[in-house]
Amino acid sequence: MAILNLKNNEIQCKIVYYGPGRSGKTTNLEFIHKHFTKQVAGKMISIDTHGDRTLFFDFLPMGLGKIKGCDVKAQLYTVPGQVQYRATRELVLKGVDGIVFVADSLKVRREKNMMSLKDLHENLKKMSIDIRRIPLVLQYNKRDLEKQGFPLMPLEKMEHELNRQLKVPSLSASALTGAGVGKTLSQIMKLTLKYLQKEFHWAQDNSS
């Protein structure tokens, strides 16, 4: 649920990077923060959580247009994967407008991806959000590791296992080198803005 801030004439939406621990969520956001400097507003907040980090910063997507004359500001978050971080996860996921699920391409992490996606599904359900309705993009990360000889899951298999039912846009990426990071972000921003435009249109129709 995006927040309409009439004082600043802006719509604030929330994009959350979700996925198993060490799949590259923070690497994605660190890359964005470092390389998209013109669109990043303010410093990146980093909170150390066990085996993971929670990151947050404001992002101003340019060139994607306005909604009802308002500028759009996105808040980008990562969420800690560990079960114990319930309060943090709840706050981060509350009012989420778009989700990037960062899956780990390493073969050994196959189950972790599936568990984490199931976990996302359940956490969203608790907030009455349907995973099939909310803007969602899958990112198959760490594809660069193949060159270094690490056994990876073939893209088709990942697609089959994670995206067969969801049928959402999916991209391969190497967050460490930055490949696919920008594309993923732009994809989720587009989906989210489209979704919000629809929502606001609906709100207007219903209020008239």
Q: How far is the CB of 43 from another protein (least distance, A)?
A: 8
CB under 8 A: which stretch of 29-37, 83-91, 144-152, 169-177 binds another protein?
Answer: 83-91
88 touching another protein, by CB under 8 A: yes
The tokens for 174 are: 């190497």
What are the strands, taking DSSP E only, across the chain?
Answer: 3-5, 10-18, 40-49, 52-59, 71-78, 98-104, 136-141, 170-172
d(CA 121, CA 83): 14
Phi, psi of 138 (to 5 degrees): -100, 135
207 touching another protein, by CB under 8 A: no
115 touching another protein, by CB under 8 A: no
Write the burial class of residue 162 (CB in 10 Å: 0-12 exposed, 13-18 middle, 19+ buried).
Answer: buried
Q: Which of 41, 47, 108, 115 binds another protein (CB under 8 A)?
A: 47
Q: Which of 38, 87, 128, 208 binds another protein (CB under 8 A)?
A: 87
Q: Which of 34, 35, 41, 42 binds another protein (CB under 8 A)?
A: 42
How many residues sit in the footprint of another protein (CB under 8 A)?
23
